[in-house]
Every structure is written in structure tokens, then in C-alpha cells.
Structure 1
């Protein structure tokens, strides 16, 4: 029965498997952003913490959006196990550099799924991911803008307070 069910899915198996990997990546991102928020709270970057709490919520929303799409398309969405979350950061710059690296990995993963969906003729998955492609442009741009602001402000003395205050500009 399992093989018959997999053959009659609206979603292509190749897409479903990649989307389940993406679900795990989004869950990992949410947990990572919670760890970053905690670091910010512990180190007096309260606005930075607020930013990362919001990012953690958004990543969980992304995970759930993909999870529900897989279900709606007749697939089997897998609840991810999450591990390997770092809680050690050396500075606010380190936090945002790690966030940018992560967002770039997510972008590459989304692009990979889109290309696979296109290759196997899974138009529904390809169309579903259009929003995620544009969302990743916004996510990367936000982190780059914050890193640029940090570089311009500097991390000496009052610069750290200015940085934390300016991060508020990127919280909706």
C-alpha cells in the first residue's frame, strides 16, 4: 500500500523528500535564532534579542507552511529532530555573520528544490516556492544591511549601544 500511495501523490517524491529536508532546515533555523536571541539577552543587546525572537517565529512559520503544503499535496511531512544548536558566539558581529551564512544556505536549498521541481515537472511545488525565493532575498538583504550598519558604527564604546538601538529599524 505504501508504494501505491507514493505513486499517486500530487507532489513528486523527489520534491517531497527535499521539502522534508527543508522543514528540518527551517526548524534548525528557528532553534538557532532562539539561541542567538538568548545570547543577545545575556549580553545586553535587548533589541537584538527582540529581532532574533521574531526571526525564530518566522522560521517556524516557514517550517509549518512547508509542512502543511506537503500534507495538502498528499505527501508525508516529517516532524524534524533538531540538534547541534550552537549557543556560543563571540560578538554581535559573529551572531549576524552566522545568521547571514545560515540564510545563504537556506537560499541555496530553496533554489535547489525549485530546480528539482522544475526538472521533474512538479509545477505545484515550484509555484509554492516562489514566495520563499523572494522571502530569501529579503532575509539576506536585512542581515547584510545590519552587518553594514555595524561596520559603519563600529563596535567600540557607545557603538554597541547604537547598534542595538538601530536593529529596531529592522523589526516590523
Structure 2
């Protein structure tokens, strides 16, 4: 592939990471759904249990108590964000692998949860961390990928505060 073609596709090769995230997320959710009754817990470590929970809301069960409209609202947000992430990935330069990886993780997580939201009406959560009787909200591999990808985006913003500037602007600033 010549440089012009690679420039058009950006870092779309990283979409394979998104596919891997979706596959692992859906396989793990299927295993938990087949293996557990709702709200059943399996002790794994003193601070970690496996369980089966359904989240009709967003992060931390935000809007979970609503009448059902939130299902489609969050699905539309996930579709819009996913489209934006793919467009962003097409515009990345070949050397922007950290950013491409971060975007691919967020995209894979968003699509994994979108699958649940559209087909089931809720997101399957099963990873439950706690300290004594204080429980963190349950989550899944898609949520973990989104969190990791978002963290990587934050690191990228700290490492490259001028990331939004074009190379010609950076070169011009250095020569002044």
C-alpha cells in the first residue's frame, strides 16, 4: 500500500482490536448468562466476585429507572460516537499508534455494549469489585475497554498537548 492509500485509511488496521474487544466481550457475557442465575455471586477473591446483572441505564446505572426510552437514547449515542471514532481513525497518521489503539478500545467497548442494548434492552454486567460491604458498580469487558481507551486518550492529551495542531503549524512555531 503506498503512502497516499495509507493516508486515506489512517489507522483502520486497528479495527481488528475493536473486533477482538467485541468478540471477547460477547463471549464472556454469553458464558456468564449461561452459567449464572440473575444476581447470583461467585466468590473469586476477597475483593472480587463474578455475578450476573442487567443494566438498563448507562455508566453507574445512570437513568436505569426510566421507562425504556433510555435504551434507544444510549443506542443512538453509541452509534454516533462509533461513527465519529471510525472517522477519527481514518484521519490518523501512521505514527499515531497509541491514539489508534485507544480509539479502537473505546470503539470495541461501545459496540459490545450497543449489541446488548439493542438486542436485549440492557447491558450484561458481571465483574463486581468490593471492599468489605462497599461495592463498586458491576461492569463488563466492554466497559473495561472503554475505560482503558479513555485513560489512554487522557495520557495522549498530556503527552501531546499540541496534538490538534498540524505539522506545518508546529514547524512554523519551532522556527520562530
Q: TM-score range by the shorter chain?
A: 0.3 to 0.5
TM-score of the two chains, using structure 2 as the length reference? 0.35
TM-score normalised by the chain length of structure 1 = 0.36
Higher strand share: 2
Kindly indicate which of the two structures has a greater share of residues assigned to helix. 1
